[in-house]
Chains A and B, each alone.
Chain A
Amino acid sequence: GDSVTQMEGPVTLSEEAFLTINCTYTATGYPSLFWYVQYPGEGLQLLLKATKADDKGSNKGFEATYRKETTSFHLEKGSVQVSDSAVYFCALSDPGNQFYFGTGTSLTVIP
């Protein structure tokens, strides 16, 4: 079945460091790919998405590119801030609109 595997955490970075959180997927069809973020004490919210191969999703300085050849959707940010501290979830939705989530990666950014 479809699934998502993402980098284990927790990740701790200094402010202004470069961030990469790896995400790979397994899917039988042509999924859409998402990154969700959960800030402390808050609900999950969409960070960015891409719906077809080679699409790049971007938001709040974060980017991820849908790579069909490597079945990946890695999340990157060039310069993290303390306010980026959160748990990040990679997800895919299949053509039947079922969502599959990764286990989440906790990020802590220290000043």
Chain B
Amino acid sequence: GAGVSQSPSNKVTEKGKDVELRCDPISGHTALYWYRQSLGQGLEFLIYFQGNSAPDKSGLPSDRFSAERTGGSVSTLTIQRTQQEDSAVYLCASSFGGTGTEAFFGQGTRLTVV
């Protein structure tokens, strides 16, 4: 596609359930980023992929959060045993990864844990 695609756009889940969020980056982009944006807050870094490997996982808030990227393309962010504090907009971005190249953002997945 022309841009970064995220699915679903909205997800309502019950506390304790697992959720999977998907990100389809721009074709050819080697770098992929996940961020979390809570209501009225800035961007909280979660994880960064270069190709299929994740040089920086330091932002994952707990061991309930995991992410993978396969084939250097699609990435999934999994949250196990969701809690209400996980409610936020999860943003994915991708870039060519070269110096000074911009990151392109998807529209985000709005996760609500009830």
Contacts and interface: CB of A to CB of B under 8 A. Distances in A.
Q: How large is the interface on A (under 10, 10 to 19, 20 to 34, 35 or more residues)?
A: 20 to 34
Given A32-B100, A102-B42, A44 B91 contact: yes
A43 B106 contact: yes
Contacts of A32: 99-100
Contact of B42 (A93, A96, A97, A103): A103
B91 A51 contact: no
A49 interface: yes
Contacts of B25: none
A97 B105 contact: no
A93 B100 contact: yes
B107 interface: yes
Nearest to A101: B43
Contact of B45 (A44, A96, A97, A100): A100
A101 B95 CA distance: 15
Interface string A77-100: 000000000000100010111111
Given A44-B91, A97-B97, A49 B43 contact: no
Contacts of B106: 43
A46 to B, nearest CB: 5
A12 interface: no
A99 B42 contact: no
A80 to B, nearest CB: 22
Interface string A34-51: 101000001111100101
Contacts of A104: 41-43
